[in-house]
Amino acid sequence: MAHKEDQQDGVNGEGWISDDSSFYGDSSTQATLESEASSFHPMTYWSKCYLSVSALAAEQAAQKSKSSTKKIPLYNEYEGNLSCRQLSETVPAFLERLSPSHTLTRDLRDPWIRIANPHTSWRPTSENWAGFKSTAESILSSLSEKIREHTRQYGSRKTILNRKLSLERKETEEALRKAAADAGCTTGKWMLFLALEQVDEAWESIATATAENELGIAAKVAPQGETDDGRAPRLICIYTKDFSDMDDVKRVLENLVELKLAGKRRWIYYKCGKFISPSPG
C-alpha cells in the first residue's frame, strides 16, 4: 500500500519529458564525448593525479618547515674586544687589521687574535676548570692504584691483566667525560703549529671557514711576540663545542684536511683541558 501511495505522489512527466529529449546533447556533441571516452585511460589519469597531489603536499610541507624554522641571530662572543673580529667588519678587513705576522702582542688587549663563528647556536657557559682538574686528578689517581693492584694480582697472566686494564681505562674515560660535563668544561681544540711564512695564509683560510660556519665555534692565532725572531712556530687553535662529540670533532678535522692544513706530513693535535693527544696527518 505504501508503495502505491509513493507512486501516486510521484511527478507525472507526461507532456514534459520526451523520448526524443536532447539530454545527451546533439549528435555532434555525443560524437565528441564518445571519442574522448574511448581515448581515456583511467590508470594514466590517476597516476598523474597522484603525482600532482604528492608534489603539492611535499611543497606545502617544505613551506611549512621553512616558515617554522627559526633563524639563529648572529652572535659574537668577542664583540667589543678589538683584538678579535667584530660583526661590523668583513673577514678581509679583519685580516688586514690584525695580520698574525705583523700584529705585535703589545698592541692587543689579550695575547691572541680571535674570531668567533657567528652562526653557531653554542653559547659559552661557566667553566669550572679548577673543579674539573681536582676531580680529574682524583680519577686518575684511582686508575693508577687499580693498575698497580691488577699488576700485582695478574702480572704473570697477561691476557687477564690486559682485559682488566682495558676495562679500567674505559671506565676512567667515561668518568672524566662526566666530570668535564658537570664542570661545564666540554670545549676542545685542534692545534696547528706553523712556520712564520705559513701563518698568514693558513689563518686566512681558517678565519674565513670559521666565519662561514664550516669549522668550529671559534679560532685563535698567536700574534708577533716582542722577542720573536721568526724561528719559533706559530700556534693556531680551532675550537669545538664538545670534545666528546666525536662526529663534530671529526667533521672539523676533515674540513681542515680539505683546506690542506692537515694531511700528509702535517701533524695536528687535539687538546681538551690538560690532556693532549697527537694525531698524525
Q: Please tell me the predicted confidence (pLDDT) of residue 157.
A: 87
pLDDT digits (tens, 9 = 90+) for 60-96: 776 665 554 566 789 999 999 999 999 999 999 999 9
Q: Please tell me the predicted confidence (pLDDT) of residue 251.
A: 96
Q: Please tell me the predicted confidence (pLDDT) of residue 121.
A: 87
Cβ burial, residue 142 (10 Å; 0-12/13-18/19+): middle
- Report which of residues 52 and 145 the model is more confident about: 145
119 secondary structure, DSSP code: T
Q: Could you give the CA distance from residue 18 to residue 84 in angstroms, rounded to a whole number?
A: 93
Q: Please tell me the predicted confidence (pLDDT) of residue 155.
A: 81
Q: Please tell me the predicted confidence (pLDDT) of residue 79.
A: 93
What is the percent of the chain where pLDDT is above 70?
Answer: 79
Q: Could you give the CA distance from residue 100 to residue 260 in angstroms, rounded to a whole number?
A: 19
Q: Does 55 score more than 70 pLDDT?
A: no
pLDDT digits (tens, 9 = 90+) for 186-216: 899 999 999 999 999 999 999 999 999 999 9
What is the percent of the chain where pLDDT is above 90?
Answer: 46
Mean pLDDT, to the nearest integer, of 40-57? 65
pLDDT digits (tens, 9 = 90+) for 213-237: 999 999 999 998 877 777 888 999 9
70 secondary structure, DSSP code: P
pTM of the model: 0.66
C-alpha cell at 42: 583511467
Select from 126, 124, 112 the least CA-distant residue to 75.
Answer: 124
Q: Are 158 and 237 in contact (CB under 8 A)?
A: no
Mean pLDDT, to the nearest integer, of 122-151? 89
Cβ burial, residue 219 (10 Å; 0-12/13-18/19+): buried
DSSP code per residue over 139-186: HHHHHHHHHHHHHHHHTT-HHHHHHHHHHHHHHHHHHHHHHHHHTT--
C-alpha cell at 17: 519529458
Sign, CA dihedral 149-165-273-194, equals positive
Residues with Cβ within 8 Å of residue 269, at least 6 apart in sequence: 190, 191, 276, 277, 278, 279
Q: Does 281 score more than 60 pLDDT?
A: no
Q: Could you give the CA distance from residue 44 to residue 47 in angstroms, rounded to a whole number?
A: 5
Grid cell 679560532 is found at 219
